[in-house]
Structure 1
């Protein structure tokens, strides 16, 4: 049984006269993928989105303004809140869900692209599932024997995942790194459409208690590849700038140079972006929206010279690169920014490259092309021009 929550459900066309069904894996966390899914629902989906599970208190309040169709409304909250438990159920829910009309636009890094039906699917891929295609990295903190078992258990899911991805009308990558990972995982070439920042400078700001006058900011959930331990250890050793950590769980202050505030409101995050010396980004990201968001405020990035940061960060203009994933390299980059500050207006102008208008226009064009191709195929089939084996 499906369930809808809030928002409007007026049946408006999302792209011309084409009905667009927007889907997203799940709204049980706050991340860049969730912000992109909201934007797709608002600009293409007529304010509606289909998802496996929706926990309003755990995701962005903007989701509550949408008409949200849940495929697993009966799922107990403890299960919905745990991705390890929710994931397989979400995959099954999408696999059993069919859409036959219009076009499906799936915001996916795991499950939403498993949806079936006659409607052509435009897949906006944030990344091929790390837990499926890079389990050793994703589960790096688990014992080796457990990682081997997980690889065996996940193998059948990979077969389904590749079939569903390869049957799409078009697969879109959120950046060049993701496009290369799509090529490795699926053997497909994917056009790149970089998303806009999910949070802009226009809006209220609210100070965060305990933040000093000289601080750097890192925004990341506590995952192994985010390298949070590296960042916090460096700032503890430097004993210069304060590090403010957004994401994960707020913790009591044990080090005056590291403040873990957990989740914050958008108003508080705007204030942090506005007042930070820099955002520190040393995760192995396929894209990473944090630098793009920070640039809007004139705040530069100290970013790992790898992954998605190569597509969004320009050394000397809006960023200082960290050459490797070690404390000495991060320490040197922080010193470089302190000794050679970047022009904040140049940083702000660099952020204008990533706009909502460009993103919406590019995705709308892909939806229109998928719809036109599907219509042509149906006409050819009706005329007896298509032979099926």
Structure 2
């Protein structure tokens, strides 16, 4: 095995996976070598949290990524040669090279390769499909090339010409995958539509126990502001979130970080409601923000959406777009209010009805998305396919 970038060699005993958290569940892949593969690894993000949970289920697996962000302190990741080039700074420009990188990632062979994919990680090869079982957990088929309308980053002019070629490569280079799992029914439908493949649905893990068990002081907060949280990038629609808060006449807290910060601060300076920015809140601070919020604003078409589940674990309703993952995680009229609109006034008109929702019912809905449920489903899926 090669050394981890920036560290010494990593020694692991293949196949030593732990018991999953549910009592009596079989130990997954005992005695077999496992590789876990992820795209690029950022400091925060839903797909990174899923990968961390996969490591919990298979802690002795080798872990491979294209690169990790400079501000990420994640340990034990083997970065590809792409990490040593300037291309690591541009996902869009490096995208056409990713299939090649995944085919030249390592000379090592494994019994089982499990990829966590939202671009090309599912095309990885580490042994012949006759000797290696390939499974892929899909956050979404690459939005950049399959559904750029969902994500403005995919409309980069540099991708216009190669998009069709990348689509063909994406399908052709993944024929060896034995089984797919989708993070939602929304993504399951995309896999069927774009790749003509079936997938089981395994919702991502959410640390609902942590968020629901806040200190008494946090739980006693009066819910007076609206909250937006996530990466500050265009398709997350924080500009619309600010407009909704203004239309509703309610204070707004925007938490997270991202390249849109300057633009969002400019927009916020023009509205007539208070807007507070919380830069990279800790997990503890985020829990406080959830418990103090009147509602989480989430007017975005998301593949699944871990953030809305975290909010519901705190008894905080979701005011969001009735598309994508929210249709699976929010019970409209009971744990949140959903509307198919991009008009701020339409969302604002629903705000007075948020007080009618029951916090206990909201928290109960979130409990179905626990890490224990994820671990049990993942280990069953992988063990069955690997057999």
Separation (CA, whole Å) in 1 of partners of 2:192 and 2:339 = 27
How far 1:196 moved relative to its partner? 1.5
SS in 1 for 2:231: coil
How far 1:127 moved relative to its partner? 0.3
1:281 aligned residue: 298
2:309 aligned residue: 292
Separation (CA, whole Å) in 2 of partners of 1:6 and 1:233 = 47
1:43-96: per-residue Cα shift (whole Å, max 9, x none)?
A: 124264210101251x4x5x33xx2111137525x6424322443444432121
Q: Does 1:320 align with 2:337?
A: yes
1:331-371: per-residue Cα shift (whole Å, max 9, x none)?
A: 12223214x2x221221111111121221111112221222
**Root-mean-square deviation (Å):** 3.0
1:100 aligned residue: 109
Query: Is the 1:4–1:69 Cα contact (8 Å) retained in structure 2?
Result: yes
Separation (CA, whole Å) in 2 of partners of 1:6 and 1:302 = 45
Query: Is the 1:212–1:242 Cα contact (8 Å) retained in structure 2?
Result: no
Higher relative contact order (CA 8 A, sep 6+): 2
Separation (CA, whole Å) in 1 of partners of 2:224 and 2:88 = 39
Separation (CA, whole Å) in 1 of partners of 2:100 and 2:313 = 39
Separation (CA, whole Å) in 2 of partners of 1:70 and 1:230 = 37
How far 1:141 moved relative to its partner? 9.3
How far 1:5 moved relative to its partner? 5.7
Q: Does 1:189 align with 2:198?
A: yes
Aligned residues: 357
Query: Is the 1:220–1:246 Cα contact (8 Å) retained in structure 2?
Result: yes
Separation (CA, whole Å) in 1 of partners of 2:7 and 2:379 = 25
Separation (CA, whole Å) in 1 of partners of 2:377 and 2:79 = 28
1:284-307: per-residue Cα shift (whole Å, max 9, x none)?
A: 111111111112222221121111
How far 1:184 moved relative to its partner? 0.9
Q: Does 1:360 align with 2:361?
A: no
Query: Is the 1:282–1:303 Cα contact (8 Å) retained in structure 2?
Result: yes
Separation (CA, whole Å) in 2 of partners of 1:121 and 1:344 = 42
Counterpart selection for 2:352 from 335, 349, 372: 335
How far 1:183 moved relative to its partner? 0.8
Separation (CA, whole Å) in 2 of partners of 1:202 and 1:71 = 38
Q: Does 1:121 align with 2:123?
A: no
Matches within 5 A, 1:122-137: 122-137=135-150
Separation (CA, whole Å) in 1 of partners of 2:317 and 2:149 = 32
SS in 1 for 2:211: coil
1:244-264: per-residue Cα shift (whole Å, max 9, x none)?
A: 242325555725522233422
Separation (CA, whole Å) in 2 of partners of 1:73 and 1:128 = 21
Query: Is the 1:94–1:112 Cα contact (8 Å) retained in structure 2?
Result: yes
Separation (CA, whole Å) in 1 of partners of 2:105 and 2:302 = 30
2:364 aligned residue: 349
1:376 aligned residue: none
Counterpart selection for 1:87 from 95, 119, 125: 95
Query: Is the 1:172–1:193 Cα contact (8 Å) retained in structure 2?
Result: yes
Q: Does 1:25 align with 2:39?
A: yes
* Runs of at least 5 residues in structure 1 that lack an aligned partner in the other structure: 373-389
SS in 1 for 2:333: coil
Matches within 5 A, 1:99-248: 99-116=108-125, 117-118=127-128, 119-139=132-152, 147=157, 150-197=159-206, 200-201=210-211, 214-248=224-258
Normalising by structure 1, report the TM-score.
Answer: 0.82
Normalising by structure 2, report the TM-score.
Answer: 0.82
Separation (CA, whole Å) in 2 of partners of 1:356 and 1:56 = 27
SS in 2 for 1:261: strand
Mark the CA change 1:216 to 1:225 in structure 2 (over 3 Å): closer, same or farther.
Answer: same
SS in 1 for 2:84: coil
